[in-house]
Amino acid sequence: MSSAFDKIMNYDTANKVVFNSLRDELKKGGILPFVGAGLSAFVYETWENLLIKLSKDFSDKDKRNIQMAVKAGDYFTATDILCEKYGEILFYKVLRDVFSEEKINDTELKKSAAFLVPKLCHGDCITTNFDRVLEHACKLNNIVPDRALPTDTNQLNEYLRNGNKKSALVFKIHGDILSNKEQIILTGKSYDEHYSADTPLRRQLTRWIDSRKLLFLGASLKQDRTVEIIKERMEEGMYNYTIYGCKKSEIPSLKEHFKDLNTMAIFYDSSDHGNLKMVLLQLIKDTIV
């Protein structure tokens, strides 16, 4: 192992133990990557910057309200204001332009941690992202990916029963950038509709959480609807993993937060995003049969 990898393992006293546990789980095939927006940051703007940018021509009052909401981590209020001011049709057109597949540069993708995700579980993953970074990463790894939304019940049930033997499955729980706007979960209204009791999203997400150990990558794991369901479903003996960038001083409070999610973390210095790529490379190297 490289000295750089050893440095990451020494970033927190439990890192090596968690790494070994995660490696062993990957070898047994019991892990599914859960990918958040952080893994698409090499091509698309962060939500914070994007929401502020899209409000640049609004009135001072509306801009201030959006800025306050973003600062508080209340992206629902910010997107609701944007949707109202743009109008629904224009808002979703702007969204599709922002997350256009044409912006994905495969050369840059190969340099990113996202490129390595399909190597972990033969392309299978679950994601909150609308973009198609993961689909491109699969193809660059010579993996043919299928895409499923929460309403694709038969496809998702077949995967959970028998695994996806013919091709990789990218389960996009919040919709795809080219989905109908009714299937894209972004505004507060859409979250309320799709995360309410007995909806396709709620049913499928619950089943997947119950049947797989998850590896969170590029996900903030802050308090949101998905995290709430994870907390509800976690029982004694159930646990997940994350590889998480942070400042060293943040580790104690993050450990307390992750304890509520039954999630074990490998922490790395967030000032160098190459650290995540290095951990993934080592996991892949150690789990190749």
CA distances from 172 to 34, 41, 75, 131 (A): 10, 17, 19, 9
**SS3 for 254?**
helix
Top-confidence residue, 235 or 164: 235
pLDDT digits (tens, 9 = 90+) for 119-134: 999 989 999 999 999 9
What lies within 8 Å, CB to CB, of 222 at 6+ separation is: 73
pLDDT digits (tens, 9 = 90+) for 51-68: 999 999 999 999 999 999
Q: Which helix (H) or strand (E) holds 245?
A: strand 240-246
pLDDT digits (tens, 9 = 90+) for 267-282: 999 999 899 999 999 9
pLDDT digits (tens, 9 = 90+) for 165-179: 567 899 999 999 998
Q: In this structure, what token pair is assigned to residue 83?
A: 């949707």
